[in-house]
Amino acid sequence: MKKVVFARIPSDEAGLVIRGLMDRGVIDLHAKISKDDRFRYVPILPEHVGAIEAEGYETVEGEAHTLDRRSPQERIREALSDHPDIVGLLPDHWEFVGDIVIVKLDPRCIPYGKLIGEIYARVLGAKTVCADVRGVSGEFRRPSMEILYGSDTESVRLENGIRYGFDVTKVMYASGNTDERMRMRNLDCTGETVVDMFAGIGYFTLPLAKFSGARRVFACEKNPESYRFLVRNVRDNDVSDVVIPILADNRDLLGRGFADRILMGYVQTTADFLPAALRMIKPGGVIHYHDTFYVSEYRERIDSIFREHCGDGYEILGIREVKSFAPSVSHYVADVRITPSRRRCSQ
C-alpha cells in the first residue's frame, strides 16, 4: 500500500477548509480522508505538501486507503437497498452548506427520514443533514427545514472570498444568486454611499463592501434572525469600517437624496418599496431593482413600474436574468439610473 502525506485539519473547521482545498486542486482524490476524535486527515498531492505546511497545517505520513470510486448516489442506494420502496425516490442532488447537507425529499420518504439522514451523512461526510420540506415562505422568506441527522444547523459558506455564516433552519440562502453576488463584487463603487434595502445576512452587502471601493454601505434588514448573522458576517469579513447594519423596515430609513446606489434584492412585492428608494437616491444614482416577471413581458413590466413612479426620469441601463423562478417566470435585476428630470409625485 502506497504512502501518502496527510494534512491534519481540526475537525471544527474541517468542512470549510476541505472545500477550499478541493477548489484549489491540492487533495489527492484517489486516497480516502480519515478522521479521529480531533482531526480530519486529508491526503495531499506531493507537489502541494510544502504549500500546505507553509500555511501552518501539520502533516503526517501514512498509508493511503483507496477511495471508493463509486458515485455517492450509488453508495447511498446500496446502503438503503433493504428499502426498495424508497430507493427510487431518493434525490440525486443535494446542496452543501459548509459541512451541512440539504436535500429535497419526496414526502413518501419522510417516515424514513432518520435512516436517510444517517446514510447521507456517512456517505457525504456531513455533520448535519436537513430536508427542505416546503421551501421558503412568508415576508422573511424563512426556510422550512426538518433535521434528519445531527443537531448543529449553523454553518459558514465560503464564496468568492466572502464568509457567509447563517443557520440553515432559520435563514434562506439563495444559492442561485451566485452570479449576481459576484457582479456586486466586481462593481466599481469607489467613494459611493450605498443602501442595501434588503440586506439579509449580507448577500450583496458583503462582496460590494469588501471589493467595490464603496465608502459607506447602509445595510437594512427587518428579520431579527437575519440581522444577527448580518452583524456577525460584517465583523468576520472585516468590513465594519464600511458597513452600518440597521435593524428596521427600510421604508422607515431617514434621509433624502444621499445614496449613489441602492440595492433592492427582493422579489414579488419589490415595487411596494420603490417610493422609499426614490426618496433616498441622488439624481443620477443607480437602483439595482430585483423582481419576478413572466419571461415574455419583463422589460415592459419594468418600464411600467418605473414610469409610474418616475415619469420619464429614468434610464434602464441593463436587465439581467438572475435565475428561473417558476414555469415561464424568472427573477430579473434591472440597473436603472434615476435622472434629475424625474417628477417627484411618488415621494
pLDDT in tens, 139-192: 656 667 889 999 889 988 888 889 999 998 888 776 668 899 999 999 999 999
What are the E-state strand segments in the chain? 3-10, 34-35, 39-44, 59-63, 95-97, 100-103, 128-137, 142-149, 154-159, 162-167, 193-196, 216-221, 243-247, 259-264, 281-294, 314-326, 329-338
Residues of the chain with pLDDT under 70: 1-2, 64-69, 134-143, 174-176, 341-347
**8 and 60 in contact (C-beta within 8 Å)?**
yes
Residue 43's nearest CA partner among 9, 80, 93, 84 is 9
Q: What's the pLDDT at 344?
A: 46
Q: What is the mean pLDDT of the chain?
A: 88
H/E stretch holding 24: helix 14-24
Domains (range + CATH), the chain: 3-63 (3.30.70.2580), 72-152 (3.30.300.110), 176-338 (3.40.50.150)
pLDDT tens digits, 273-294:
999 999 999 999 999 999 999 9
